[in-house]
Amino acid sequence: MYSKLKLGIRSKITIGYIVIILCLLASVIILNNQITSLQKERNFIIKYDSQVQALTNSIEKYILDMESSQRGFIITGELSYLEPYENASKNWKVDFNELHQLLDNKPNQQEKLEEIKYTIEHWVATSGDPTIKLKKDNNTAELTEFFKVDIGRKDMETMRKQFASFRSAENALTQTKANQLDKKNSNLTSGLFGLLVLVSFIAIVIASGISRSIVKTITEVTEAIKEIAASKANHKGRIHVKTNDEINVLADATNELLDTLEEREWLQSNIAEMVTKYQGISAITQLAEIFLSEIAQMTKSSLGAFYVREMNNNDIYFVKKAAFADASDNIGVERFKIGQGLIGQSAREKRVYMCNDIPKDYKVIGTGLGEAPPKCILIIPIIFEDEVIAVVELATMNSYTELQQELVKQIIETFGLTVNSILGRMEIVRLLNESRAMTEELQVQSEELQTQSEELQMQTEELTMINEQLEERTKDAETKSRELEIAKRDLEESAEQLLLNSNYKSEFLANMSHELRTPLNSILILSEMLAENSNNSLTEEEAEFANVIHSSGEDLLALINDILDLSKVEAGKLDIIFGEVNVSEVPLLLEQIFSPVAHKKKLEFQITKAENVVDVFYTDEKRFQQILKNLLSNAFKFTEKGSVNLSIEQLKNEQLTNNMQEISAEWLEITVSDTGIGIPKDKHQLIFESFQQADGATVRKYGGTGLGLSICKEFAKLLGGWVSLKSEEGKGSSFTLTIPSLPNGINEERCSNLTFAEVVATTVVNDPIEVIEGPIEESHHDSQNEVDVFQNKNILIVDDDYRNIYALKTALEKRGMNILVAKDGLECLDVMQTNDKIDLILMDIMMPNMDGYETMSVIRTQMKLTDLPIIALTAKAMKNDRDKSLEAGASDYISKPLNLDQLISVLRVWLVSKRS
């Protein structure tokens, strides 16, 4: 991968250094050479120069030695002085040759040297040797002669001059050479500086080149990083480096890091986003849906299902709670067990499954346009506390990248907790609701119980009351049994007597009417005869009188007949003979009787008979007719204008009640209706009573005895039927006689039961009894029980005002209460110490020694009498007083000045035995 890397920064720098070092090395070598040659030259110069000098000096010395030795000898003549000369003449040529050799490359100097040689040889030849010879020959004259000329001296001087010139020439040469060396030296110095500059320059160039190449890429990278940092959105930017160096590696690494970061950020943001989506969700289905849709979006899944673990009869099932992109509205199984299928296996092993090779016919992913099988399936168990609590299955048309898998894995890690908490929350909500429902249910039950207990209480009380009464009665019965027996005997006697009396009365009445009728008959007959006035012996007025007598007599007769009938009924002496009645004859008969009356009063009179009415009907004809006659005459009597109608109908089967059917299958209903004055509703019951009419005024206006209807009622009863009434005041009345056909006579008991029931059901429209009942009974009981509530109750009055005590005492004692008195709190407590049967305390507040509050506190807290009723007597409109007395433990309060009724009410409330 990094094979392209050929010039790394390291190599660049290394190369740079090597170059510089090489340069330095080169320059050092060059310098060294120069310096060495210089040294050599210098050494050579020094050596050569000194050699030349030494040799020159040595030659000169030799010459001088020779001269001095010559002279010495000449002077002395001693041969010993000749020894140095001999040496010198031998040696100087050696030095000379040596010097000559040295001066090989200096021909000028050699020439000078040659000249010197010549001079020396000339001296030796001309002056040395001859003189020595002269001396040796002792030729002093010649010597002196010689020295008079002294050619040697001239040679010596020439030689000296020659040496001086040689030396100076040599010195000049040496100087030239030294100058040359100096020049070389300075050249070398400048060369050294030049080299330094050059090497420095090269070093700088290399350094700058390398550094530029490094910095450039670094800057590029920095710029790229800055750019990336600046672009906050998506870190899509990457670092591009053209060089093939470590920076490139760094850039690559950074890019890699960015990639990783980006992935991680993507993961994090998706996870974070996911987590925010969970918020506020309270139902697992909702959670599952949101989770699926989100995760499907993130993983680019096209299909998904969410299963949550549920317990069902100890079996663990995973039940589908949500599906994503449901193709056919029904993806996946609705539920599965642990281990069932791959998904079940995943739940069992708590591990993620991913399948890549999906058969073609696998479940299809549906879009609007078509369907396709998925390519990859991911099954993820969601684990909480090491238990799989849900399983998610996802399918995609592509494949899941590692990143997506990682995302799923990370999301799942915390998702278990969420699922669990939502399940927990749902459970809590369910339990909360349940507990609320249970609270309400409890309330219901408690109310029901209360109702039942109240009912029970009521029953118990009733029972207790009955029990008490029974006990009392038992006692009474025991003590009174004898009296009762006596009384019973008396009663029996008097009952017999009464019965006898009643019979006597009825018989008497019957006889009496009979006896009355006899004289009345004669009066009637005679008055009628008189009224006819057949002889015309009477004045018109007298005839009218006779008419009046007659009609009055008839009235009287009717009255007597009525009384007779009624008393017969009451005495049970009326004989009822059931027989055949031809119903079809009835209208004719009645018409004969009442048509004249109708005509006279100018009333319409109509008799109708329904078609279904049987011809033969079994009843007592006489009484039947009498009832009809009575009803009709009543109708005519109270009708001034309009009409009177009589209709005969037979009741249909469906109109008959069970009881009626038992008595007879055929029932007639004869209705007499009129358009008369009518009867007010509250009088409906009354008019059937003997001697009763609607009101007194009616009697005065219409006359009559008021017996007619009671006779009708009694007769109807005897015939097994009844009379009912419908009437409205001012609009008329209609009386209906309902009787059965009874071929075999009447069964008394059955009929009387029935009649009662039916009459109640039909005639008693507005039952007035109810209205009357309440108050009368109550007030009756009142006085009885009133005594019970107050009787023998011990009331303690605590008050410092004697007048108050007196007034209260009198009022309460009158009702049977026992009154105890205390003048202040202390006395009250004393009284209570000695008397533990106090039922109630009336407590004044403002008292000396110990006031009401304190007293009550003592009673409640120290004496622990928490249930004893204490009624505080407070001043009116003093709310503070009331609050304080309540705080002190008053059961109730009542304001002064006392209202006796109110006081009695309060006493009742607090003295009555509590039910519960």
CB closer to other proteins out of 537 and 783: 783
H/E element, 701: helix 696-702
Query: Distance between CA 192 and CA 190 in Å, rounded?
Result: 5
CB closer to other proteins out of 381 and 869: 869
State the nearest-atom distance from the C-beta of 910 to other proteins, in Å: 6
CB closer to other proteins out of 784 and 862: 784
DSSP state of 388: E
Query: Distance between CA 309 and CA 348 in Å, rounded?
Result: 12
What are 352-360's contacts with CB under 8 Å, separation 24+?
A: 352/378, 352/379, 352/380, 352/381, 352/405, 352/408, 352/409, 353/377, 353/378, 353/379, 354/378, 354/379, 354/400, 354/405, 355/379, 356/399, 358/395
Query: Distance between CA 407 and CA 687 in Å, rounded?
Result: 102
State the nearest-atom distance from the C-beta of 765 to other proteins, in Å: 18
CB closer to other proteins out of 333 and 904: 904
- Looking only at the bridges linking them, the beta strands covering 616-619 and 579-582 are antiparallel
CB closer to other proteins out of 436 and 480: 436
Task: Tell me phi and psi for residue 771, to 5 degrees.
Answer: -65, -40
State the nearest-atom distance from the C-beta of 913 to other proteins, in Å: 7
Please answer whether residues 646 and 590 qualify as being in contact, where contact means their C-beta atoms are separated by less than 8 angstroms: yes
CB closer to other proteins out of 775 and 848: 775
CB closer to other proteins out of 47 and 436: 436
CB closer to other proteins out of 456 and 610: 456
CB closer to other proteins out of 451 and 479: 451
Torsion from C-alpha of 511, 514, 520, 525, nearest 10 degrees? -170
DSSP state of 313: T
Q: What is the 3-state secondary structure (H, E, C) of 721-753?
A: CEEEEEEECCCEEEEEEEEECCCCCCCHHHHHH
Alpha helices in 533-580 (DSSP H): 540-571
State the nearest-atom distance from the C-beta of 867 to other proteins, in Å: 10
Burial of 559 (C-beta count, 10 Å sphere; 0-12/13-18/19+): middle
CB closer to other proteins out of 214 and 789: 789
User: Which residues 6+ apart lie within 8 Å of 43 measured at CB?
Assistant: none
State the nearest-atom distance from the C-beta of 312 to other proteins, in Å: 20
Q: Which of 778, 768, 685, 676 is nearest to 725 (CA)?
A: 685
CB closer to other proteins out of 233 and 769: 769
Task: Tell me phi and psi for residue 380, to 5 degrees.
Answer: -125, 120
Positions touching other proteins (CB under 8 A) are 433, 436, 439-445, 447-448, 450-452, 454, 778, 781-782, 785-786, 788-789, 869, 874, 879, 882, 886, 891-895, 901-902, 904-906, 908-910, 912-916
State the nearest-atom distance from the C-beta of 445 to other proteins, in Å: 8
State the nearest-atom distance from the C-beta of 831 to other proteins, in Å: 23
Structure tokens at 464: 């207790």
What are 889-893's contacts with CB under 8 Å, separation 24+?
A: 889/856, 889/857, 889/859, 889/860, 889/861, 890/843, 890/856
CB closer to other proteins out of 328 and 779: 779
Structure tokens at 314: 């100890």
State the nearest-atom distance from the C-beta of 877 to other proteins, in Å: 9
State the nearest-atom distance from the C-beta of 484 to other proteins, in Å: 30
User: Which residues 6+ apart lie within 8 Å of 908 measured at CB?
Assistant: 789
Helix, strand and coil content of the chain, in percent to the nearest 5, comes to 65, 15, 20
State the nearest-atom distance from the C-beta of 869 to other proteins, in Å: 8
Q: Looking at the DSSP assignment, which residues form a beta bridge with residue 673? A: 645, 734
Q: Which of 334, 330, 331, 291 is nearest to 312 (CA)?
A: 334
CB closer to other proteins out of 242 and 814: 814
CB closer to other proteins out of 273 and 782: 782
State the nearest-atom distance from the C-beta of 810 to other proteins, in Å: 20
Strand ranges (E), 313-361: 315-324, 335-337, 353-355
State the nearest-atom distance from the C-beta of 856 to other proteins, in Å: 14
What are 83-87's contacts with CB under 8 Å, separation 24+?
A: 85/128, 85/132, 87/62
CB closer to other proteins out of 583 and 868: 868
